[in-house]
Chain A
Amino acid sequence: MNPTLVRWLQAPSIFVLLLWMIVPLSMTVYFSTIRYNLLYPERTGFIGLDNYRFFATDPSFGPALINTLILVGSVLVITIVLGLAISILIDRPFRGRGIARVMLISPFFIMPTVSALVWKNMLMDPNNGLFAAFSQALGLQPVEWLAQYPLFSIIVMVSWQWTPFAILIFMTSLQSQDQEQKEAATLDGAGFWSQFWNLTLPHLARPISIVLLIQMIFHLSIFAEIFVTTSGGPGVSSTNLTYLIYIQSQQAFDVGVASAGGVFAIILANIVALFLIRAVGKTLTV
């Protein structure tokens, strides 16, 4: 193929992605440095870092940042540990394994708003939910999950959706594990744990790091689950950064402050992305 044609074929994808990245990004940065509130259109002008100061000193900012970290951290631990355990369980053949696998990965394909509603209503509702029915059957007081433990409830929902993702990745990766090596280890009398630490875990090291990083990217911007269930409440007890920025723009109509928050979110995501890109780059053979 001649080089000109190659360039022309590549151009569209590079061009549109460049636009998609640079235009909104520079606008966000620009908005974040000016006075821009839809309620007060007469107030304009460059204000330097005031929006950032305002966003960072907002009493909700601290809790939102902490909630974000707790949310991401807990979901990561739960999904990786459960994902590892379950994918190892279903790695060896048994009758009906195909069905069990399909059942295990299905939650990942449920749209987030549906999953949030199912958990909120049918499972966690303190009056008519299934968990409440269990509590009552045991003679206990039903728990108001979303009011009493809002962040925990969201962690449960998100883990339910993303453990299947970890299972899917680990399961695929386990299939490429060297079986002869494992058999040899068994013959040599290596037990389950010693095989796990010395063979399986090293084999899964890369998938685990990839799963970690990808989940971090997605979980930093969890939105639908909070939007549908707790709306960030009670108070700000289940507000994460994404939701806080959303509130800032939709309820306070403050484009400037929301943009400053946006820049903050971008920086946070990019710290993670840096590591992810490096990990992925190592595996891409060109």
Chain B
Amino acid sequence: MTDRQRQIWIDRAAVTAAWIAALVFFFPIFWMVLTSFKTEGQAIQVPPLLIFEPTLENYLEIQERTNYAKFAMNSVVTAFGGTLLALLIAVPSAYAMAFNTTHRTKDVLMWMLSTKMLPAVGVMMPIYFLAQKFDLFDTRTLLVVIYAMMNLPIVMLILFNYFREIPKEILEASRMDGTSTFNEIRQIVLPLAWGGIASTALLSIILCWNEAFWSIVLTTTDASTLTAFVASFQAPEGLFWAKVSAVSTLACAPIVVFGWMAQKQLVQGLTFGAVK
């Protein structure tokens, strides 16, 4: 065998291995989606069914019989609310920091990131206690506030990096024309940073949507999000695999799509800006 032939074989083997890995990793998701189109009987059938007549019954039933819509709404409100609140606080701050960098800016950002390191379980009791005290237990307001705080450091860091990339000359030019700071942000910075803000928001929404600790600990029924709702199916009596799959598919589909779209921001956000 010549070197060239050998190389071709190695390439083929590598591509095959890559596809096997992809199929293995994707399989549980595929299986979940597939199960959601089975009847309950088919879902637990042994040996498992691969070919069957798909049904939409599960999707209809979870709308009718469970409070799926309510939990979905809670997820939407808390994920978007938390993100919005974080952005409202972070945009002006990150802007000010990016355009007026001092020797302390880095320390401030690092300190902000360090608040992310506080394990949730370490502050569980106080948060629980405060939630009860202010009558916020099991409310969406509480989750919105917590999610905002949880994501604020990451949001700050990514926005800071985006704002840093805006050429300073543009701002200086507009300042010469006497534009006020407010107009400067509105007319120049926001349009330029819009893409960055949107993708930061996307990342924050993903993180909020999939958050499971606080939503399980701090809600019972009223404010439960989809993560907590899905967790409630853990009990043995709740063994409705097809319906659980339908709920899970609906709960994950939008976020998986968001995830594909926000890959770059995700890398930056989750590595705290260290890998771009």
**Interface residue ranges, A against B (CB under 8 Å):** 1, 3, 5-6, 9-14, 16-17, 20-21, 23-25, 27-28, 31, 86, 89-90, 92, 94, 96-97, 99-123, 127-128, 130, 132-133, 136-137, 160, 163-165, 168-169, 172-173, 206-207, 210-211, 214, 217, 220-221, 223-224, 227-229, 241-242, 245-246, 249, 255, 258-259, 261-263, 265-266, 268-270, 272-273, 276-277, 279-281, 283-284, 286
The list of the 4 closest CB pairs from A to B, nearest first, reads A273-B117, A27-B126, A109-B259, A24-B123
**Interface residue ranges, B against A (CB under 8 Å):** 11, 14-15, 17-19, 21-23, 25-26, 28-29, 31-32, 35, 43-48, 89-90, 92-97, 99-101, 105-106, 108-110, 112-130, 149, 152-153, 156, 181, 206, 209-210, 212-213, 216-217, 226-228, 230-231, 233-234, 239, 241, 244-245, 248, 251-252, 255-256, 258-260, 263-264, 266-267, 270-276
Contacts A104-B21, A104-B26 known; A118 to B31 CB distance under 8 Å?
yes
Between A107, A114, A246, the greatest number of chain B beta carbons within 10 A of the residue's beta carbon is seen for A114
Contacts A16-B152, A109-B256, A224-B212 known; A265 to B119 CB distance under 8 Å?
yes
- CB neighbours of B120 from chain A (8 A): 221, 223
Secondary structure class of chain B's binding surface, majority of residues: helix
Partner of B275, one of A104, A172, A228: A172
Partner of B31, one of A20, A27, A86, A123: A123
Partner of A258, one of B106, B124, B181, B231: B124
Query: A84 CB to closest chain B CB, in angstroms?
Result: 12
- CB neighbours of B266 from chain A (8 A): 168
Query: A224 CB to closest chain B CB, in angstroms?
Result: 4
Cα distance A235–B124 when bound, in Å? Answer: 24
- CB neighbours of A21 from chain B (8 A): 115, 118
* Chain A residue with Cβ nearest B241: A121
Interchain residue pairs with CB less than 8 A apart (15): A13-B90, A13-B112, A14-B112, A27-B123, A89-B18, A97-B18, A113-B228, A118-B245, A122-B35, A122-B43, A123-B28, A160-B28, A206-B274, A246-B121, A269-B122
- CB neighbours of A92 from chain B (8 A): 11, 14
Partner of A133, one of B48, B105, B116, B125: B48
Q: Once the chains bind, are A25 and B210 in contact (CB under 8 Å)?
A: no
Cα distance A13–B123 when bound, in Å? Answer: 20
Cα distance A160–B31 when bound, in Å? Answer: 15
* Chain B residue with Cβ nearest A112: B212
Q: Once the chains bind, are A13 and B93 in contact (CB under 8 Å)?
A: yes
- CB neighbours of A276 from chain B (8 A): 117, 272
* Chain B residue with Cβ nearest A94: B15
Partner of B181, one of A1, A89, A211, A228: A1
Cα distance A223–B121 when bound, in Å? Answer: 9
Cα distance A165–B269 when bound, in Å? Answer: 12
Contacts A20-B115, A160-B28 known; A117 to B125 CB distance under 8 Å?
no
Q: Once the chains bind, are A111 and B125 in contact (CB under 8 Å)?
A: no
Query: B183 CB to closest chain A CB, in angstroms?
Result: 13
Cα distance A113–B122 when bound, in Å? Answer: 21
Contacts A104-B21, A221-B119 known; A281 to B110 CB distance under 8 Å?
yes
Q: Once the chains bind, are A113 and B231 in contact (CB under 8 Å)?
A: yes
Cα distance A200–B100 when bound, in Å? Answer: 37
Q: Once the chains bind, are B210 and A28 in contact (CB under 8 Å)?
A: no
Cα distance A107–B227 when bound, in Å? Answer: 15
Contacts A27-B125, A277-B113 known; A121 to B239 CB distance under 8 Å?
yes
Cα distance A111–B229 when bound, in Å? Answer: 12
* Chain B residue with Cβ nearest A20: B149
Partner of B100, one of A6, A100, A104, A165: A6
Q: Once the chains bind, are A103 and B152 in contact (CB under 8 Å)?
A: no
Partner of B230, one of A12, A111, A133: A111
Contacts A122-B32, A169-B267, A270-B117 known; A23 to B210 CB distance under 8 Å?
no
Cα distance A88–B162 when bound, in Å? Answer: 29
Partner of B18, one of A11, A100, A118: A100
* Chain B residue with Cβ nearest A258: B125
- CB neighbours of A119 from chain B (8 A): 28
Q: Once the chains bind, are A286 and B28 in contact (CB under 8 Å)?
A: no
Q: Once the chains bind, are B210 and A221 in contact (CB under 8 Å)?
A: no
Q: Once the chains bind, are B212 and A223 in contact (CB under 8 Å)?
A: yes
Query: A59 CB to closest chain B CB, in angstroms?
Result: 20
